[in-house]
Amino acid sequence: GAVVSQHPSRVICKSGTSVKIECRSLDFQATTMFWYRQFPKQSLMLMATSNEGSKATYEQGVEKDKFLINHASLTLSTLTVTSAHPEDSSFYICSARDRKGIMNTEAFFGQGTRLTVV
């Protein structure tokens, strides 16, 4: 199956700093990528839809100035957690769907990033 690579897998940062997470589709083009957040033993909550060449679409309640998304190419989307605080500590996962036949196709997920803000 298609591969989505997410980096880094783990990051520990100090409160007040910013952290960038990368999501790459390795063998297909993804006009749309998705960023999720997951708390321990809970489901994935969609944060935003990343659109190549245009602004991201954020879900209700997600601060767009806090979670900056850039989708500069068909294979790369980045999520930057700005001025991180301990409550931003979570597991962040990206996913991508192939631009061809997107409606009834599966999504491919990155390995996730465990963010710990101290």
Partner 1 sequence: SQQGEEDPQALSIQEGENATMNCSYKTSINNLQWYRQNSGRGLVHLILIRSNEREKHSGRLRVTLDTSKKSSSLLITASRAADTASYFCATPPDSSYKLIFGSGTRLLVRP
Binding site for partner 1 (CB under 8 A): 1, 4, 6, 32, 34, 36, 41-46, 49, 59-60, 91, 93, 95, 97, 102-112, 114
Q: Phi/psi at 38 (nearest 5 deg)?
A: -135, 125
Q: What minimum distance in Å lies between the beta carbon of 83 and partner 1? A: 25
Q: What minimum distance in Å lies between the beta carbon of 45 and partner 1? A: 7
Q: Pick the closer one to partner 1 by CB: 57 or 82.
A: 57
Q: Pick the closer one to partner 1 by CB: 3 or 18.
A: 3
**What 3 state SS string does 20-83 have?**
EEEEEECCCCCCEEEEEEECCCCCEEEEEEEECCCCCEECCCCCCCCEEEEEEECCEEEEEECC
Q: What minimum distance in Å lies between the beta carbon of 60 and partner 1? A: 7
Give the amino acid at 89: S
Please, which residues bridge with residue 51 across strands? 32
Q: Pick the closer one to partner 1 by CB: 68 or 107.
A: 107
**Of 110, 107, 106, the residue nearest 92 (C-alpha):** 110
Q: Pick the closer one to partner 1 by CB: 12 or 16.
A: 12
